Every structure is written in C-alpha cells, then in structure tokens.
Amino acid sequence: MFDLISFDQLTAAWGPQISIILRFCSAFALLHFIVLRPLYNFFLHPLREYPGPRLWAASVLPWACMFLSGQSHRRLRELHDRYGRTVRLGPNELSFTVPEAWNDIMGRSKPGIRQENPKAPWYLSPSSKDIIGALHDDHTRMRRLMAGGFSTAAMQQQQQIIKSYVDLLIGRLHISAAQDDLIDIHAWYNYCTFDIIGDLTFGESFGCLDEAAMHPWISLIFANIRLTAFILVFKRIPVLLALLPFFVSYKLVKQFREHQQISREKVAKRLEFKDSRADFVQDMITGKAGQVECLRGMQTMSRDELVNNSVILTLAGSETTATSLAGATYLIMKDRRVERRILEELRSRFSEAEDMDLMNVATLPYLGAVTEECLRLYPPGPNAQPRITPPKGNTILGKYIPGNTILGIPHRAMYLSESNFTRPTEFIPERWLDPTRSEEFAGDRRECFHPFSYGPRNCIGMNLAYAELRLILARVIWDFEMEISASSEGWMENQDSYLLWQKQPLWVRLVPRKGDSESVRESAPYSSRDRL
C-alpha cells in the first residue's frame, strides 16, 4: 500500500516546480495574446488582404473603445473615407459601404450560392425570445403572427386612432406655445409616438401626452441604453466580463428587474380583456393575417415571447419615429427654403388640417423627398447591426469570407459616402424627386438607402413609421412657424451614438401660423382617456 501524502507535503516537495510552471503559463499567455495572436491576425489571418488600421486588424480592443466612446458614427465614416468601401475593423470583422452588400449580407439565402448570415449572437442573442434575435424558423413564425397588424388594411383601420393622438399633440403644442417661450419638441414627439404605439399594442395609451411626461416604464427602457452598449462589448470579449460589476450598479439591476416585472404586468392586463378591439397583442395571439394557416401549423407565441415582442414593438415602434421627427424638424429649421416648399405643397393640396390622413400625405412628392433626405442624413439607427457568416463561410461581393466573420453595414457611413451620393453632407430633398428634373443627382445610388434595414428581417413596422412621420411632420408645419433656440444649435452634429442616438432636448420656439383653425386650439383639452 502507498502512504497517503498530505497536501502540505506535496506543495513542500513540488512547490518550486509548480511556481515555475505557473510563471511559464502566465508568460506564454501574455506572449500569445500580446505578440503571437496579433502577429497571426495581421500577417496570416484569412482577412489580411482587406484594408484597415493595422492595430484594429491585430486586436478587437480598438473596436471596443470606439463602440463605447459613442463616436462610432463619426469614426466609421472616417475609416471608410480613408481605406475604401470595404474596411477591416477587427481580426474577424469587415464593414461595407457598397450598395450590393445589402443583399449579400442581409438578403435571403440562395441554395448553392449563399447561406443566410445570422445576427451576431453577442449582439442579438437567439435566446432573447423576440423577433429581432430569433433564429430563422422562430423569426418566420413570429413575423407571420405579427404581420397582420402592419398591413395596409390594418393601417386604414388604425387611421382614426393615430389621427386622434396627432390632434392631441397639436392641441398640446398650442397650449405649450402660449405658456412657454421654448418647448422641447423632441420630448413631445416621444409623448405622441409612445401613446400611439401603446394604444396600437395594448389597446390603451401610456398617457404621455395627457401628463406631458414619459411613462415610468418607458423611462426604464431609456435608462439602460448606454449600459446595454457596455454589456454587448463584454459579451463579445468575455475576458472583460470581470469588469462588469464596475459598470452595473445595484440601482441599474433593480431598474432592469422592475422593467421586466412591469412588462409582464402590462401584457397580463391586456390579456384580461378578451373582447377588446384588435391590437398588436391580439394579432400575436391569433395570427390575424393568416389565422387558419397559423392554427393548422399550431403557430403561437409563448408568454415570454409575447412579453418580449411587446417591449420590442413599443420601443422600435416609437423611438425611431420620434427620433426621425426631431431630426427632420432640426434640418427643416436650418433651411427655411425647405419649410416654405413643404407648406406650399400642403396648402395646394389641403384646405384644412383635418383633411390630412396617413394615406393622402403619402402621395405628396416633396414631403416624401424631405422625409427620405432626413433619414439619410440622420438615420435613427446610425451604425451597423452586425451579422456573422455561418461556420462554413459565405460569398460576399463575389469573394469567399471565412466562417464566423462579423459583417456590418453602417448606415450613416453608407449614406454619407461620396461614392453613393452627390454632395452627401448637404440637405437636398430634391435629390429624391424624379431624376430627370435634376441631372446632378441622377447618379445617386439610391439602392444603398435602407434606413429600416433590408431583407426578410427588415423592420416590420417600416410602413407605419413612414406614415406617422409624414403625417405628424405635415401637421406641425401646417400649424406652426418654428425657430430653433440658440441653446440647441448643433443639436444633431454634437450627439453621441450607441445602439441609438444619445439625444439632448431640442428647444424650439413655436408660433401659430396666421389663419389657423381655432378648432384645433379649442380641442386642446381633449384627452386620450376621453376616447378610451
């Protein structure tokens, strides 16, 4: 039999050797991550032929610093201007400003040619149980269940609901303009769009316009946007997870749990009313667009999916529209020529503000051109939503790209590229009109413009967002002359960006236009609760 050796005896006998081994392993690890791996990434990696900053090719840390700085929208444009239309942003990451990249990266799979590039799991996890991060089959099921609420027929049914909140917004603005010298117009846009999406999703508004304040549930969503950026970086670079406690306070954890609880309560409250009018939750339960097909395939959503998708609809269906409205207002206030031309178009078509609706404002060519140009200069999601090549790789722009390569198309860099648009940094709505009217912009590559993403995973609420954007913008310009406050000069240019723009208040002075109908001002005390 062998005598048992105590741990103390073992360490006494082998202590020096263990110490040497540990030191050797530490030195090798440092050598690997600081010297060998960067040298491989730069000289031997399959992506070594793509241009980009040398330090970025060696390590993912420069990308992380850029992402957390809030300056991605500026830095990405600078990199593409310097290195070209395809840039290597990391050891295994490529960024594109080539219009054809949309189809190759975001488009449908083509058997024998190209597979679908899934969303990067560290950016949007398949386990999130929502339509944005879901894998292909789950995404198809969820989108089929939700599609009915965003059809043309549904928009026509929703029109009176949306118009009632726009009327309420205009009434509230008239009251505020009479009481206050300056108004944060972006806040009011947020109140309106969140009330609309609350009604369309849950059958009741959030009461933001009534209270002139954000609902606490929505405030919790906004409170965690910058924190989410840190979490994404830590998920992509797991070695940094040890730093997470330094960025996540107990207060933030508490807010996150409160948000989850309120989300569940909101959906539970809505589900108590079985016979309420149709809304997005009802569509997700029944599959309004194809109810028979859904029932045959037993396609439904779990409670977690219902809750998470309701949160997604609430944020994506309101924040992007409010952001676009604020950006459009800022750009129009900086160019009175554009404002006058919009007003002329509106007055040539409508005799009263009440004549405007979601459908007829969509037929106004110049208003449509203005909204497109505003989205080009100020896309609500300025940076890329990364995809990743499948394990066996994929063909992108005619070249083989190895597996697990991150692919991105940064919106702002794409839309401000001189290779895609003439005079790209200038606010020129005319570029979106019939090219025969302006030969100068006939060469603009409009096919590069997809502010609501591209392919089978593009924004399901894109048409609703466009309709709300045009109607609200038309009504505000019809009723008010707007002047930007000196304190908000540079509002757009000075913003940071993470997943969304980090916006400051947009202070404006509103003056009711002469000859406006008194009925609008008289309707100002109207409350959304009166209708509900």
pTM: 0.87
Q: How far apart are CA 332 and CA 400, in angstroms?
A: 44
Residue 194 carries which side chain, given as an amino acid letter? F
Residue 359 carries which side chain, given as an amino acid letter? M
Which residues define the annotated binding site? 459
Angle formed at CA 469 by CA 326 and CA 342, multiple of 5 degrees: 85
Give the pLDDT confidence score for residue 410 in this predicted structure: 98
CA of 2: how far to CAs of 13, 256, 343, 423, in Å?
17, 57, 97, 85
Q: Say how many residues make up the chain.
A: 532
Q: Please report the DSSP string for 493-528 in residue order.
A: TT-EESSSEEPPP-EEEEEEPTT--HHHHHTTT--H
CA of 355: how far to CAs of 349, 351, 372, in Å?
9, 7, 23
* Positive/negative CA dihedral, 41, 69, 79, 369: positive
Give the pLDDT confidence score for residue 296 in this predicted structure: 38
Give the pLDDT confidence score for residue 276 in this predicted structure: 59
Give the pLDDT confidence score for residue 518 in this predicted structure: 43
Residue 524 carries which side chain, given as an amino acid letter? A
Which residues define the annotated binding site for heme? 459
Edge-to-edge order in the sheet of strand 183-184? 183-184, 507-512, 480-484
State CA 306 to chain mean position distance: 20
Give the pLDDT confidence score for residue 248 in this predicted structure: 67
Per-residue pLDDT of the chain (532 residues; tens, 9 = 90+): 445 555 455 455 555 665 665 555 655 455 445 657 777 887 788 999 999 999 999 999 999 999 999 999 999 999 999 999 999 999 999 999 999 999 999 998 888 777 899 999 888 887 878 899 888 889 998 998 888 888 888 888 889 999 999 999 999 999 999 998 899 999 999 999 999 998 998 888 889 999 988 887 777 666 667 778 888 888 898 877 777 777 666 677 777 777 777 778 878 888 777 655 677 887 787 755 444 344 434 467 888 888 888 888 888 888 899 999 999 999 999 999 999 999 999 999 999 999 999 999 999 999 999 999 999 999 999 999 999 999 999 999 999 999 999 999 999 999 999 999 999 999 999 999 976 567 889 899 999 999 999 999 999 999 999 999 999 999 999 999 999 999 999 999 999 998 889 899 999 999 999 765 443 434 333 343 333 3
**Helix/strand number for the chain, H first, E second:** 24, 11
Q: How far apart are CA 517 and CA 479, in angstroms?
A: 9
Domains of the chain from N-terminus onward? 38-124+387-425 (no CATH), 136-381+451-531 (1.10.630.10)
395 class by beta-carbon count within 10 Å (0-12 exposed, 13-18 middle, 19+ buried): middle
